[in-house]
């Protein structure tokens, strides 16, 4: 595996004087699942936007190595209410000029990947919150990205739905060999999902802890209730507390 992403002395200062990101150095290898933790407002979302090219750094450099294809999943699904689920998922392909029959076929395949194959002709208003987030995930995956950025996509969902989506996301990551950066405020979610977790300081965001999540690939109930899982959760919680002090 090679390097997928390199951040060098990354900084983002806004016109009002607020510095959101300052001096972030980060290397992410291809196929890694990296969780980003930190206090609310510390700059995690800004960091994702800089990586995605949705914002420009004030200093430093973002380098996407090799295949730069990426997709972004926001906190809100942002589905178009007048388009069916299938046509929402197909939209990125249509915008790239892919013929509608081919875009629809690929969208249907993406929906199958998130267990929504039978819901393509429904509209967003007919879906639960968890289902809408799965549609958003399918829309991101339909372009077959190599780098997937997720900004706390499951934070507004109930715990059971969130756990199910976490498990599906991890399964998709393993199946596709994606590189994933996942912003979350949930320490247990970070440990459940990732192979590596970063804890950021309060704004401006700086890396306070970078730790490998050394757990079995299968993160079922036995792993989630194990002593190593609890120990990693405690280590990240302590790092968050110390970073915020």
- Per residue in 127-186, pLDDT (tens digit) is 999 999 999 999 999 999 999 999 998 887 888 888 988 999 999 999 999 999 999 999
Would you state the pLDDT for residue 243?
Answer: 79
Would you state the pLDDT for residue 40?
Answer: 84
Whether residues 192 and 238 share a domain: the answer is: yes
Residue 75 within any structural domain of the chain: no
State the Cα–Cα distance between residues 20 and 54, nearest whole angstrom. Answer: 15
State the Cα–Cα distance between residues 112 and 120, nearest whole angstrom. Answer: 10
> ω into residue 141 within 30 of 0, thus cis?
no
Is the predicted pLDDT of residue 1 greater than 70, yes or no?
A: no
Q: How many domains does the chain have?
A: 2
Residue 204 within any structural domain of the chain: yes
Whether residues 128 and 138 share a domain: the answer is: yes
Residue 76 within any structural domain of the chain: no
Whether residues 211 and 222 share a domain: the answer is: yes
Which range of residues forms the domain containing residue 102?
81-144
- Which pLDDT tens digit goes with each residue over 34-44? 999 998 888 89
Phi, psi of 181 (to 5 degrees): -115, 125
Residue 88 within any structural domain of the chain: yes
Whether residues 92 and 198 share a domain: the answer is: no
Choose one of 98, 126, 144: the last residue of a domain: 144
Whether residues 121 and 106 share a domain: the answer is: yes
Residue 219 within any structural domain of the chain: yes
Whether residues 167 and 139 share a domain: the answer is: no
Quick check: pTM over 0.85? yes
CA distances from 201 to 23, 134, 196 (A): 12, 31, 17
Choose one of 91, 113, 144: the last residue of a domain: 144
Would you state the pLDDT for residue 22?
Answer: 93
Whether residues 150 and 129 share a domain: the answer is: no
Residue 239 within any structural domain of the chain: yes
Whether residues 36 and 18 share a domain: the answer is: yes
Choose one of 144, 176, 191: the last residue of a domain: 144
Kindly state the average pLDDT of the residues 62-87: 91
Whether residues 43 and 155 share a domain: the answer is: yes
Whether residues 93 and 172 share a domain: the answer is: no
Kindly state the average pLDDT of the residues 5-25: 93
Kindly state the average pLDDT of the residues 236-243: 89
Whether residues 102 and 158 share a domain: the answer is: no
Residue 93 within any structural domain of the chain: yes
Whether residues 140 and 221 share a domain: the answer is: no
- Which pLDDT tens digit goes with each residue over 87-127? 999 999 999 999 999 999 999 999 999 999 999 999 999 99
Phi, psi of 112 (to 5 degrees): -60, -35
Would you state the pLDDT for residue 245?
Answer: 67
Would you state the pLDDT for residue 109?
Answer: 95
Residue 226 within any structural domain of the chain: yes
- Which pLDDT tens digit goes with each residue over 189-205? 999 999 999 999 888 88
State the Cα–Cα distance between residues 237 and 48, nearest whole angstrom. Answer: 22
Would you state the pLDDT for residue 103?
Answer: 96
Task: Say which CATH number the domain at 221 has.
Answer: 3.40.50.300
């Amino acid at each position: 595996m090679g390097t997928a992403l390199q951040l060098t002395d990354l900084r983002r200062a806004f016109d009002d004087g607020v510095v959101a990101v300052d001096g972030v150095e980060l290397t992410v290898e291809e196929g890694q699942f990296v969780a980003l933790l930190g206090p609310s407002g510390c700059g995690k979302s800004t960091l994702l936007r800089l990586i995605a090219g949705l914002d420009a750094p004030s200093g430093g450099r973002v380098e996407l190595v090799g295949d730069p294809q990426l997709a972004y999943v926001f906190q809100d699904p942002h589905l178009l209410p007048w388009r069916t689920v299938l046509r929402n998922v197909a939209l990125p392909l249509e915008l790239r000029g892919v013929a509608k029959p081919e875009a629809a076929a690929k969208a249907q395949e993406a929906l199958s990947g998130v267990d929504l194959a039978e819901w393509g002709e429904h509209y967003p208003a007919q879906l639960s919150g968890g289902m809408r987030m799965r549609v958003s995930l399918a829309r991101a995956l339909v372009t077959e990205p190599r780098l997937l950025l997720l900004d706390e996509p499951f934070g507004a969902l109930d715990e059971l739905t969130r756990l199910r989506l976490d498990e599906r996301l991890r399964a998709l990551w393993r199946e596709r060999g994606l590189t994933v950066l996942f912003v979350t405020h949930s320490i247990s979610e970070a440990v459940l999902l990732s192979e590596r977790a970063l804890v950021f300081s309060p704004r401006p965001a700086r890396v306070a802890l970078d730790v490998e999540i050394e757990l079995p690939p299968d993160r079922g109930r036995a792993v989630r209730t194990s002593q190593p899982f609890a120990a990693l959760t405690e280590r990240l919680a302590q790092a968050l507390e110390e970073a915020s002090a």
